[in-house]
Amino acid sequence: MLDPQLLRKDLDAVVKRLAARRVVFDVDTFNRLETQRRNIQTETENLQAKRNALAKEIGALKSQGKDASSVLLESQQIPEHLKRLEIQLQDIQSQLSDMLMSIPNLPHDSVPVGADSDANVEVRRWVPNPDSSTGNPKPFDFEAKDHVTLGEPIGLDFDTAAKLSGARFSFMRGPMARLHRALAQYMLDLQTAQHGYTECYTPYIVNASTLMGTGQLPKFKEDMFWVNRGGDESSGEDQYLISTSEITLTSVARDTIFAEAELPVRLTAHTPCFRSEAGSGGRDVRGLIRQHQFDKVEMVQIVEPDKSYETLEQMVEHAEAVLQGLGLAYRVMLLCTGDMGFGSSKTYDIEVWIPAQHTWREISSISNCEAFQARRMQARFKRGTGKPEYLHTLNGSGLAVGRALVAVLENHQQADGSIQVPEVLWPYMGGLKVLGAKK
């Protein structure tokens, strides 16, 4: 959530920065609500001052033995009036809060302005075996197969998944399931042992308040799966399957004041993620690229404000390390204002090379949300004996396991359809170095 004081002090600047995100801010409604809020607060303060003055007057009259009944009657009417004003103020503040909850974060000054992904900027790329003419990986000397064709002989089974759940689900068995698990274990071990993250196990189902704090609600409800909580008919509370463990990991800071010495907080978790893919239409129906259920190793850091942009660059490097270890070509893209997520001030996407599609596909997105989530969650810290300040929160994939699986299958395929297992995964594969027997 944006800082209300920033809107009150420099509304024009906020409106301009939101326009860079193609967001039209309703200035008239905001000004109307703000005027009403100020008027009610002024009236409330005047009434409170009058109540205090009348109390003194009553005391003086009584001490002089004079009749104070008329003044007392006047004073007795003030509490009811104050209560009405309090209710009106709560309603106006609720409307302002709802308005602010639907507004995205402001882009950082370093973010390029643009309408869509065409305006994103490539920062760097890492290609183990580049083609000098394109900078992309050199093509195979055979026709590259896609991950579905490569995966089915070693246990990728979409027919069983469709029978069990429907479209956009996957079922894996044998070598395929083991490779999927190996990737997640490798990512967790790398992030914990080398990059200092604490591994966590989190709930997969959360309440609406948690999602409000991290920004998924109210805007993105249709992108989520939700259920009515079983076993408590009186509650009727909707609960939601997480779309990323960013939600649960970031929310550990909710309603908390950290000591400066406790920062930074670095957390990681391997969880399934559930997304309805509303609005995706017919995109990526075949294969593992766009699923209703997929696994991800998430990275979250909770830091002091003056360290968040240094931390953002660090987290990008943490995600890159996974891809380099797997020998996968990738490029780092700085997203423009029109392509960033709702809560982000600055985002880098990491895109991995997919040979069968002859293109780059997102495999990680790393964002600095500054104080946007912290303000919604009331996540703060104190410098010594100073006043509590809002933290900055950052999140990123380290990595999306399913998409990493796609990339490993396609980039490490051989002409006979077998897959060379990256060396970093050998310890997790029981010594298996090649999947798919040569025939």
Q: Quote the percentage of the chain above a pLDDT of 70.
A: 96
pLDDT value, residue 437: 60
pLDDT value, residue 277: 76
Q: pLDDT tens digits for 55-87?
A: 999 999 999 999 999 999 999 999 999 999 999
pLDDT value, residue 370: 98
199-234: b (≥16 Cβ within 10 Å) or e: ebebeeebebebbbbbbbbeebeeebebeeeeeeee
- At 268, which helix (H) or strand (E)? strand 265-274
Q: pLDDT tens digits for 244-254?
A: 999 999 999 99
Band the pLDDT of 318: cuts 50, 70, 90: very high
Kindly report the pTM of this predicted structure.
Answer: 0.92
Mean pLDDT, the chain, whole residue set = 94
Band the pLDDT of 237: cuts 50, 70, 90: confident
In 3-state terms, what secondary structure has residue 415?
coil
One-letter amino acid of 428 = Y
pLDDT of residue 148 exceeding 80, the answer is: yes
Contact by Cβ (8 Å): 193, 268: no
pLDDT value, residue 106: 97
Fold for domain 117-435?
A: BirA Bifunctional Protein; domain 2 (3.30.930)
pLDDT of residue 168 exceeding 80, the answer is: yes
Q: pLDDT tens digits for 393-411?
A: 999 999 999 999 999 999 9
pLDDT of residue 142 exceeding 90, the answer is: yes
Give the tokens for residue 159.
Answer: 């027919």
Band the pLDDT of 235: cuts 50, 70, 90: low
Cis peptide before 112, with omega less than 30 degrees from 0? no
pLDDT value, residue 234: 52
Q: pLDDT tens digits for 255-294?
A: 999 999 999 999 999 999 999 976 565 666 689 999 999 9
pLDDT value, residue 232: 54
Query: Per-domain residue ranges for the chain?
Result: 26-101, 117-435
Band the pLDDT of 103: cuts 50, 70, 90: very high
303 closest CA partner among 274, 339, 267, 350: 267
Q: How many Cβ atoms sit within 10 Å of the Cβ of residue 166?
A: 9
Angle CA 305–110–316, to nearest 5 = 65
pLDDT value, residue 258: 97
Segment 175-203 shows an average pLDDT of 98
**Is domain 26-101 annotated with CATH 1.10.287.40?**
yes
pLDDT of residue 45 exceeding 60, the answer is: yes
Give the tokens for residue 293.
Answer: 């259920």
